[in-house]
Amino acid sequence: MAAIIEKTEVPAPNYNRFVGRLVKIVYKEEPEAPVEVRKGKLVGHDDYFIELKTYENTHLINKRNIIAIKIFGEGLKAEE
């Protein structure tokens, strides 16, 4: 008899609490790509992307590629 496995989705984090804050984001551009870590100010987000402003650049990061996000220095994680 085969076991039935229910697929449960992890709820998306509320990115509004990170807007305007200094954050640390861990993400991958592609599955085989190395993990990238960026620190900067989260200046906005929409349904698909977040906008992260670093000292030199502004990055658009696809929300699907984000592994973890936390407020820098506070330890709050998106998974909580």
Structure tokens at 28: 């991958």
Residue scoring higher pLDDT (2 or 71): 71
**Tens-place pLDDT, residues 11-51:** 567 899 999 999 999 999 888 889 999 999 999 999 899 99
d(Cα 54, Cα 42) in Å, to the nearest integer? Answer: 9
Q: State residue 80's pLDDT score.
A: 41
Domains and CATH numbers, the chain: 15-71 (2.30.30.100)
**Tens-place pLDDT, residues 61-78:** 999 999 999 998 765 555
pTM above threshold 0.75: no
